A and B are shown apart, each in its own frame.
Chain A
Amino acid sequence: MLARVFDASRDRLWKEWTEPDRFADWFGGDEAEIPASTVALDVRVGGMWRATMFAGPERREIRWTGKYLEVAEPKLLALTFSDDGAPDELVIVVLVDIGEGHTEMLLRQRGAMSGPEYDRAARGMSSFLDRMAKHIADD
């Protein structure tokens, strides 16, 4: 489980996850580009989401799709992730108000990958959150 404290409100972090422009900026981190025009987020229980990512210097195209399983603004979001037909990964995001304008984001991913793959995924997600934090600080 990843845990990260942000100098931002829960509402602000909720927007990072649910507004296409913001999501496109941080998802994929510094190593990938997501054109905002490819992002569609239907944030409601049973709603689908998609985004097309161009990853790395070779701009490998990855088409992400998934579904929102639980939506409780601004506290909890559960969504599946899949790239190009791979089995679904479940990501649960919890936003905890820890006072003084700070929010702790807890993030857990579960699915069909192996231990080392999850370690890699966690490092990747952690770098995405670095970018989210930077993006928030620059605002």
Chain B
Amino acid sequence: MAAEQLSVTFSALADPTRRAILARLKEGEASVTQLAERFPMTVQAVSKHLGVLERAGLVERSRIAQLRPARLRATHLQEAAEWLGSYAFWDASLDTLEQKLAERPSDA
């Protein structure tokens, strides 16, 4: 996975409205109009945020249906979650290592 994509993903996530849009899309697809009803902003503003999410590959929009509903694309979000999870992994691994070091008979 390219580090570049992670930067794009986290940059897209660095906005409360965009995170709220993603949270809404977790429940199912929605059109720009439907999203705009839910947020205290114009359709244009929502559309702009959606554009950022789409370019980041976190959201895709139907090319067929007339309302072009947006839906979540999980791949890059999954990668970002894995990246964050790697720190938990290291923490747990270091716990295990520490325990082994403590159990090792001292040669001093």
Contacts and interface: CB of A to CB of B under 8 A. Distances in A.
Interface in B80-108: 87, 90-91, 94, 97-98, 101, 104, 107-108
Contacts of A3: 87
Q: Determine which residue in B91, B94, B104 has the highest number of CB atoms from chain A within 10 A of its CB, and name it.
A: B94
Interface in A54-107: 67, 69-70, 76, 78, 90, 92, 94, 98-100, 106
Given A46-B107, A46-B108, A94 B90 contact: yes
A78 B87 contact: no
Contacts of A123: none
A15 interface: no
Contact of A1 (B3, B91, B107): B91
A110 interface: yes
Contacts of B107: 46
Contacts of A110: 98
A8 B44 CA distance: 45
A67 B108 contact: yes
B98 A90 contact: yes
A12 interface: no
A81 to B, nearest CB: 14
A54 to B, nearest CB: 27
Contacts of A70: 97, 101
Interface of A: 1, 3, 46, 67, 69-70, 76, 78, 90, 92, 94, 98-100, 106, 108, 110
Please list the 10 inter-chain residue pairs (A to B) with the smallest Cβ-Cβ separation, ordered nearest first. A69-B101, A46-B107, A92-B94, A108-B94, A106-B90, A78-B101, A1-B91, A70-B101, A92-B97, A110-B98
Given A78-B101, A99-B3, 5 more contacts: A1-B87, A1-B90, A76-B97, A92-B98, A106-B90
Interface of B: 3, 87, 90-91, 94, 97-98, 101, 104, 107-108
